[in-house]
C-alpha cells in the first residue's frame, strides 16, 4: 500500500512469473526462551572487557610497586638503592626512566630525586606504567561497557579517578602519596572483588578474567627476571618480593621463618593455590581461553597447555633445584612470550571490528 499525496492510498501488486514457495515466518522467542537465552558479546565489548582487566591489573601492580619502592627508599635503615635488582625491577615496570638511574664517579643516585620521581608517577597521565594513566584508561574502556558493570563498580572507578586521575594542585609529599596509594590499592582490590561477586560467567567475563591473568603473569615474570643470582641469599630483598606480590602474610603464616629462596619461589611461582603465583595465572588462562567460541582455531592452545604443564611438573622440594638459574630464566622468558602470543591471538581472532558480527561471542548455557 502506497500513499498518494496526502489524500489517500491504493494497493500496489508486484507480479511474478515464477511460482512462489511457502512464506517462512521468523520464530519469535517465547518468554521462557528469553529468560534462559544467551547474552551476546560483541567484538568491541569483548575487547573493552579484555583491556579493562589489563588496565586495572596494571594500575594495581604499579601501585604496589610504588608503595614498596617509596617505603624502601625513604627508610634510612634499609639499603634501598644498594640493590641493583631492586632498581632493575622498578625500571622494568616503568617506575623509572633509564636517565633516573644514571650515576657517575662524581655523583651518586640521590634517593630524594627517586622518591620525587615515584610520587610524580602516581598521577602521571602520560606514562603507560603510571597509576594515573592506567586508571584513566580503565575508566575509558569501562565507559563503553557500562551496562555490564554494577553501580558500585562505577562508584569505585569514579573514586579512583578523583584520587589519581589528575595531579593535585600542590605536589604531594611522601606521606600524602603513600596514603593515596593505599586507598588506590584498596579500591582496585574492591573493583576486582565486585567483578567476581556480581558479573555473570559469560564470555565477556572470561575476556575480562584473561586480561587480568595475562597482566599478572607478565608482572610476575618481569619482576623475577630482574633478580640476580646473588638475591637468592638476601632475606631483605626476598621479603620485598613477597610484599610486592601481596604474599608476605601468606608466607609468614605457612613457613613461620625468614624468607628463603626455595620457599619464596615455591609460593610465588609454583603454588597452584596462590592467586598471586605464576602457576595460578597460567592455569586460569589455560582454562578460560579454550572455552571461548571458536577457540579451537587459536594457534596458542598448545603453548598454553605446555606452560601450564611445565609449572605443574616442577617439584620445589627437590634438593638443589634452585642452585642453577638457567631453567628459571627459560621459564620466565617462556611465560612472557606465551602471554604476548595469547594477547595477539585474541586480538586477531575476536577484536576485528570490521567483521564484528562473525566475531560476536555468545555465552554457552
pLDDT in tens, 118-159: 898 888 888 787 899 999 999 999 999 998 888 999 999 999
Q: Would you say residue 64 has pLDDT above 70?
A: yes
For residues 184-206, give the mean pLDDT. Answer: 92
Closest by CA to 226, choosing from 90, 107, 35, is 90
Q: How many CB atoms are closer than 10 A to CB 243?
A: 18
Q: Which of 93-107, 112-126, 319-333 has the lowest mean pLDDT?
A: 93-107
What value does the mean pLDDT of the chain take? 82
Domain annotation covers residue 317: yes
Q: How confident is the model at residue 322 (pLDDT cuts 50, 70, 90)?
A: low
Per-residue pLDDT, 99: 72
Q: How confident is the model at residue 19 (pLDDT cuts 50, 70, 90)?
A: low
Per-residue pLDDT, 337: 96
pLDDT in tens, 90-100: 887 777 777 76
Boundary of a domain, candidates 199, 219, 252: 199
pLDDT in tens, 23-42: 554 555 555 444 444 567 88
Per-residue pLDDT, 225: 87
Cell of 175: 606521606
One domain, residues 208 and 160: no
Closest by CA to 64, choosing from 248, 194, 208, 227, is 248
Q: Would you say residue 108 has pLDDT above 70?
A: no
Domain annotation covers residue 359: no
Q: Would you say residue 209 has pLDDT above 90?
A: yes
Q: How confident is the model at residue 5 (pLDDT cuts 50, 70, 90)?
A: low
Per-residue pLDDT, 104: 42
Boundary of a domain, candidates 149, 165, 199: 199
Evaluate whether 268 touches 274 at the Cβ level (below 8 Å): yes
Domain annotation covers residue 5: no
Domain annotation covers residue 320: yes
One domain, residues 236 and 193: no
Domain annotation covers residue 34: no
One domain, residues 195 and 207: no
How many domains is the chain partitioned into structurally? 2
One domain, residues 174 and 81: yes
Range of the domain at 103: 41-199
Domain annotation covers residue 4: no
Evaluate whether 315 touches 321 at the Cβ level (below 8 Å): yes
Q: Would you say residue 170 has pLDDT above 80?
A: yes
Amino acid at each position: 500500500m502506497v500513499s498518494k499525496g496526502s489524500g489517500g492510498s491504493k494497493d500496489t501488486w508486484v507480479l511474478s512469473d515464477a511460482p512462489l514457495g511457502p512464506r517462512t515466518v521468523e520464530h519469535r522467542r517465547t518468554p521462557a526462551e528469553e529468560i534462559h537465552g544467551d547474552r551476546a558479546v560483541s567484538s568491541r565489548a569483548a575487547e573493552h572487557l579484555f583491556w579493562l582487566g589489563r588496565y586495572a591489573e596494571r594500575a594495581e601492580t604499579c601501585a604496589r610497586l610504588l608503595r614498596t619502592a617509596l617505603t624502601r627508599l625513604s627508610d634510612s635503615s634499609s639499603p634501598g638503592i644498594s640493590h641493583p635488582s631492586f632498581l632493575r625491577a622498578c625500571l622494568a615496570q616503568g617506575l623509572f626512566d633509564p636517565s633516573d638511574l644514571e650515576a657517575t664517579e662524581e655523583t651518586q643516585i640521590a634517593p630524594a630525586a627517586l622518591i620525587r620521581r615515584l610520587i610524580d608517577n602516581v598521577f602521571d597521565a602520560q606514562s603507560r606504567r603510571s597509576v594515573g594513566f592506567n586508571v584513566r584508561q580503565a575508566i575509558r574502556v569501562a565507559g563503553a561497557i557500562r551496562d555490564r558493570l554494577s553501580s558500585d563498580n562505577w562508584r569505585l572507578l569514579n573514586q579512583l579517578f578523583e584520587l589519581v586521575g589528575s595531579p593535585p594542585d600542590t605536589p604531594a609529599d611522601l606521606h600524602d602519596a603513600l596514603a593515596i596509594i593505599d586507598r588506590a590499592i584498596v579500591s582496585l582490590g574492591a573493583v576486582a572483588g565486585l567483578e567476581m561477586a556480581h558479573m555473570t560467567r559469560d564470555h565477556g567475563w572470561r575476556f575480562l578474567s584473561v586480561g587480568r591473568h595475562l597482566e599478572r603473569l607478565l608482572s610476575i615474570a618481569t619482576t623475577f627476571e630482574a633478580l640476580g643470582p646473588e638475591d637468592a641469599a638476601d632475606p631483605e630483598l626476598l621479603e620485598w618480593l613477597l610484599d610486592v606480590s601481596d604474599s608476605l602474610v601468606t608466607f609468614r603464616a605457612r613457613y613461620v621463618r625468614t624468607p628463603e629462596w626455595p620457599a619464596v619461589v615455591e609460593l610465588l611461582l609454583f603454588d597452584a593455590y596462590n592467586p598471586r603465583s605464576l602457576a595460578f595465572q597460567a592455569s586460569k588462562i589455560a582454562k578460560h581461553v579454550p572455552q571461548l567460541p571458536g577457540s579451537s582455531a587459536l594457534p596458542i592452545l598448545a603453548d598454553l597447555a605446555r606452560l601450564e604443564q611445565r609449572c605443574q611438573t616442577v617439584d620445589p622440594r627437590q634438593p638443589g633445584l634452585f642452585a642453577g638459574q638457567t631453567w628459571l630464566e627459560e621459564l620466565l622468558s617462556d611465560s612472557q612470550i606465551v602471554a604476548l602470543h595469547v594477547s595477539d591471538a585474541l586480538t586477531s581472532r575476536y577484536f576485528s571490528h570490521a567483521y564484528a558480527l562473525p566475531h560476536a561471542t555468545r555465552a554457552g548455557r
